[in-house]
Amino acid sequence: MEQLFSGKVALVTGAGSGIGEATALLYARHGAKVIVSDINEEHGNAVVEKIRTAGGDARFVACDVSKPEQCETLVKETLGHYGRLDYACNNAGIGGEAAAVGDMSVAGWDKVIAINLSSVFYCMKYQLPAMLKDGGGAIVNMASILGQVGFPHSAGYVAAKHGVVGLTQNAAVEYSAQGVRVNAVGPGFIDTPCSSKWIKPLKTC
C-alpha cells in the first residue's frame, strides 16, 4: 500500500474505541506515526499495540479533553516525542444525559458541552500553533449528523455538535491561507460505545 502519510505525525483523541480507534489505525496503515489519546488508558494502549503489531509507530498519551491544561500537555508530548504535528482528529466525545430540554440537569449540560465542544476549541488552540511552525497541516473535527438537525432528549449533544460545525468553519476561514485545512465530518448513527444508547432502540424497530 502507498504510504500516503509517511514521515507525518497524527494525533487522535478518543482513540481508544469506535471511530477514533478506526481513524488511528487508518493513519498508521498509511504510514503516519500516531499519538493515540484517550481517557481510558487500557483501551488506548490496546490500540497502540494493534498499530505496533502491524508494524506501525504509535504512542499512548492519556488526556481528559475537557481540561484545557491536559490538551496543552497532549500537544507538548506529541512534539516532544515525534518533533512535529501534521494531522489531528478531534474525535473524543460522549452521548451525554438523555433528557428533554426542560428536564436536563445543569451538570449534564455542562459535561457534554465541555467534552464535545469546548474540548475541540482547547485542542485546536494548541494544535494550530504546532502545525503552523512546520508550514501547515490538517485538522478534522468530529461533528455528527446531529450537528445539522435536532434529536429528542439530546439537547446537549445536539447543541455541542452544532457548535463544532460553527467552530470548524471559523477556524477554516482563519487558517486556510496559512496552510492548515480544518474540516468537520458528520457521521450518521454508527454502532460504537458512544452511540449505543441510540443504536439499540433503532435495532429493535
Q: List the catalytic residues.
A: 157
- Cell 516525542, residue located: 81
Residue 30 has which C-alpha cell? 498509511
Give the angle 144-146-147 at the CA atoms, nearest 5°.
70
CB 37 within 8 A of CB 66: no
Longest dimension (CA), the chain: 52
Q: What is the DSSP string of 128-180?
A: HHHHHTTT-EEEEEE--GGGTS--TTBHHHHHHHHHHHHHHHHHHHHHGGGTE
Structural contact between residues 138 and 175, judged by C-beta atoms closer than 8 angstroms: no
Report the C-alpha gap between 109 and 168 in whole angstroms.
21
Query: 10 Å Cβ neighbour count for 101?
Result: 13
- Three-state SS for 41? helix
The SS3 assignment for 62 reads: strand
Length of the chain equals 205
